[in-house]
Each structure stands twice: as structure tokens, then as C-alpha cells.
Amino acid sequence: ARLVVLVSGSGTNLQALLDGIAADAGGYGAEIVAVGADRDAIAGLERAERAGIPTFVCRVKDHATREEWDRALTEATAAHEPDLVVSAGFMKILGKEFLARFGGRVVNTHPALLPSFPGAHGVRDALAHGVKVTGCTVHFVDDGVDTGPIIAQGAVEVRESDDEAALHERIKEVERSLLVDVVGRLARHGYRIEGRKVQIGEHGHR
């Protein structure tokens, strides 16, 4: 399967995918054909360049309207003919045109146990709420914010000593392996989305 990965920052989830694919020597069932970002000069783009993977940047401020940005991102992504789009720390809400084009084929990873703590500050919100267990969620993207059908989740204990950075780093350790596992299974076995349920493999061919 052809993957386009969208990033906005350090790209350690992207790096986990790159390392997982390389380690699996062809058995993984997917290859990253391009990496897209909503901003320049981020480590995520450097990771792609180091791996010899084409990159593209679509900045909201380069477009007169959000819709035009959405169209530009859709076209830049479509140019690489992805089977799956992986939003790995991409910090923009994907627009209507993007979802019309790639709906049902966009996977997102979120650093909280959805439906709890959706949005851009899931780690901070969980910590502030005083939960004892949080974690990460890999889900398909629908037209809501972090509301699409859940594929997999991983739990992470919150420690007394945790601040946002420490907790987020511990979540990311679980998140990176969860994302690599899920994307590989979707690519190798196919899947079907039925309402809020995701079926991978056998009858799940897509």
C-alpha cells in the first residue's frame, strides 16, 4: 500500500513508521511515498528528506481561504496516489474536500483515550482532569474532530510526578508501536468500516 504521512512537528511517529517498514524488509505491506506538512523547517520533514522521501508543504497562510488550503493539500496529497493517508501529529483539521477525496482512508493518532480529551491538547487536558490512566488512540478520520471509528488504543498510567512533557513522551512510546502495528495490518489485510466498527482482514477487504 502507498502511504502519505502528514506531520506538523518532530515526526517521531513518522520515524517509527520509517523504521518499522525498513525493519520488515518488504513484509510490512506498505511504503511511504510522500510526507506532507503544514509548516516548513520541522524535524518531521528532515526525517523524510534523510529517508529520501518526497515532501510537500501546504501552509494555511499561503492561501486566501481555508478552503483553498484544503484544496491545495488535497491535490498535493493526491499527486502521490495514496492508498492510505496517515495523520501523525498533523495539527490541522482536514477539510471537506480532503475528506471527500480520501474519506475512509485517513488514519489519525491521538495522544488520549478517545472519546475523552479530543482536540489539540489531549495530554494537557487529561493531566489537568486528574485521570489515573490515559493513553493513545488510532482511529479513522471522519468529519468531526477526533471522532472517527476507533481502530486501536493503548493505555498509559499517569504518575504523580508527571508534567505534560513527561506524560506525552511516555504516551508516544505506546503510540508509535500502536501506529506501526495498525497501519501494517490495515495495509496487509484490508479493512472495512461499518458505522463505528472497523473490521480488519478476511471479510474486511477494501
Query: Closest distance between ligand GRF and the C-beta of residue 125, in Å?
Result: 13
**Count of CB atoms within 10 A of residue 55's CB?**
18
Which CB atom, from 59 or from 192, has the smaller least distance to ligand GRF?
59
Region binding ligand GRF by CB under 6 A among candidate stretches 10-18, 141-149, 151-159, 187-195: 10-18
Amino acid identity for residue 198 in this structure: V
125 in helix, strand or coil? Answer: helix
Smallest gap from Cβ 16 to ligand GRF, in A, equals: 8
Asked if residue 10 binds ligand GRF (CB under 6 A), the reply is yes
Does 38 sit near ligand GRF (CB under 6 A)? no
Tell me if residue 110 is catalytic: yes
134: region left, alpha or beta (phi > 0 left; psi from -120 to 50 alpha): beta
Among 20, 36, 82, 111, binds ligand GRF (CB under 6 A): 111
Map residues 48-67 to x or -, x wherever contact with ligand GRF holds by CB under 6 A: --------------------
Q: Which residue number is nearest to ligand GRF in terms of Cβ? A: 89
The catalytically annotated residue of 110, 121, 139, 189 is: 110
Q: Residues 84, 109, 167, 191: which binds ligand GRF (CB under 6 A)?
A: 109
Binding positions for ligand GRF, rule: CB under 6 A: 7, 9-13, 44, 88-89, 109-111, 172, 175
Which residues are part of a known binding site? 11-13, 66, 91-94, 108
Positions marked catalytic = 110
